[in-house]
Structure 1
């Protein structure tokens, strides 16, 4: 078993927390990094971190990924050769009011990881989070998004920063010859999820008797993917680095888009309550549909999502009721 640690940024976040646990379960050492900002309730992030208590193989550094010197010191000090970079400023709508948070976290933060990686001795693989939002808007129907599409028309600042990170990684792979994989995440949900995501927010409001706002008047569709399936893909990608100097991007999703109203009906069944729905128009930066073609990730790692939406939502609701005691 390897003794060098895997660095996981965003370890107090939704996906980072789950990835770190999977790596620990298979005997890896993990260094988690997170700034624990207040984009959403820091208490939820602290609760995620508490699940690592007693794990000697896990260590945590509270750090800003935009602090290049600090990140380099962590990487070099621990002899890190593999990084799963998941920390970022998330959210499309938040970017409308807080654009500079995306410049610092997503652009400057990504550059910090690139610089640390290229100076690390015997560095093996940087896996980082991109986003399906880089594809821009696309009508529902037909084939899913494929990695060969141009992705030149992002419709939100968040998407633009994620596409910029891909271009930065491409240039660094070309210049400095270390392997990189960008994962274009579609909509992820499940226990320990983010409060700003639809399933979490709808659950919170339905259980508290509040109405829910349904944007796009319910006509949107998303490629909802359960967290355990996402972790399978992330770890699988980490274990299959490209050749030195190669940068690749891979979709990671479920490949079965679900209409927003269908998702709400599934959630209502799991909660045993009907939602009071308020229909709203599309918000700036939102896209109509997301739909992942995951054939490349499947060919590389055998990736195959297994958790269907009804089952995944039931698991989420059980976690939510237990965690919040409702």
Structure 2
């Protein structure tokens, strides 16, 4: 059976979660708190209205912190006194990175360096996991699943900033963290879908917005395939990885792991859109956007074999089920249901899910 986060490990543990107001961060914070973790957040206010963070927690009670501001980060880290750190704060949108490359590098690379420097002052630190992306690789686009030892690259500013982040983490690990006996690793997750994402230029939020507005959704590259997975897959894997890192005082674990769907699954953007629309009870209406678009790789596939071999982790939901769970979440939101209760129910259902 695939391992799941262990409540006994997290109960009462001080966890610093950066990016806790974002889509994935909100799911991670909710799961950690169900297990009794003492979660401190470090993030900017939610970018979107609605926002999953607000739905789950109400108005923000913690002051916003920009991960690029060294003094503010140092104060937040000192106040949190974390034992475990999950770094998810990022500029995570590819198309925005074309518009704002400097801001993307400042957040994704500079913000990571700022955080890692501040964490060097924390006593009793047990493990740090930095979330990067499946797009850190120099992807030739031929469809071969990319492995952790493949060359890093990045044709767009977002991907390059995350690849640069990997190099920065490696340098901090060898220079500071490994000599201090503190595990520091990165996780590279595939494309994530799930309830509560309202970001710009992502297929599921775009589908939801187009359906609400009664207009066709714009799909830039309908035949492109991606390693789709439900948000609970990588979040659960991050927590399992952190547990293992905290116990790995001899440095035997890999320092980077891919997290992705089963290798025999493939789903194009258009197929995902069709299934989502079907589960939402409305036929799909779509069109291609006018004008030139920033380039995207037609195929991206990652090999998640190493995390299966080392941690026994494997996905619990198929790609089709990930779409179904996502569509069910948005349908419930549209009906005005209690989204905190439904989100926690999906976490519980996921944990009960057999392989």
- TM norm. shorter chain > 0.5: yes
Give the whole-Å Cα distance in 1 for the aligned partners of 2:320 and 2:127: 35
How many residue pairs match? The answer is 316
Write the deviation string for residues 255-284 of structure 1: whole angstroms up to 9, x where unpaired. Answer: 433112221221121122222222359832
**What per-residue deviation string (whole Å, max 9, x for no partner) do you get for residues 162-192 of structure 1?**
0111101101111112321111121101111
Partner of 1:149: 150
Residue matched to 2:300: 290
- 2:241 pairs, out of 219, 222, 237, with 237
Q: Which runs of 5+ in 1 are unaligned?
A: none
In structure 2, C-alpha distance between the alignment counterparts of 1:202 and 1:9, rounded to whole Å: 28
What is the 5 A alignment of 1:211-290? 211-216=216-221, 218-241=222-245, 242-243=248-249, 248-255=255-262, 256-279=265-288, 283-290=293-300
Deviates more, 1:72-81 or 1:180-189: 72-81
Structure 2 counterparts to residues 122-133 of structure 1, below 5 A? 122-133=124-135
Indicate the SS of the match to 2:50. Answer: helix
CA RMSD across the alignment:
2.5
2:174 pairs with 1:174: yes
Of the candidates 46, 50, 56, which is equivalent to residue 44 of structure 1?
50
Q: Secondary structure at the residue paired with 1:232?
A: helix
Shift of the alpha carbon at 1:22? Answer: 1.4
Q: Which residue of 1 aligns with 2:326?
A: 316
* Deviation at residue 35 of structure 1 after TM alignment: 0.6
- After superposition, the C-alpha distances for 1:13-46 in whole angstroms (9 at most, x for unaligned) are 11111111111112211101211264xx2x333x
Match of 1:26 in 2: 35
SS at match of 2:92: coil
Distance 2:267 2:109 in 1: 31
The answer to whether the 8 Å contact 1:129/1:184 transfers is yes
| Equivalent in 10, 22, 36 of residue 13 of structure 1 | 22
Task: Give the Å deviation of 1:159.
Answer: 0.6
Contact 2:46 2:53 in 1 (8 A): no
Q: Does 1:101 align with 2:109?
A: no
Which structure: greater strand fraction? 1
TM-score (ref. length: structure 1): 0.88
Structure 2 alignment gaps of length 5 or more: 1-7, 337-355
Contact 1:155 / 1:286 at 8 angstroms: preserved in 2?
no
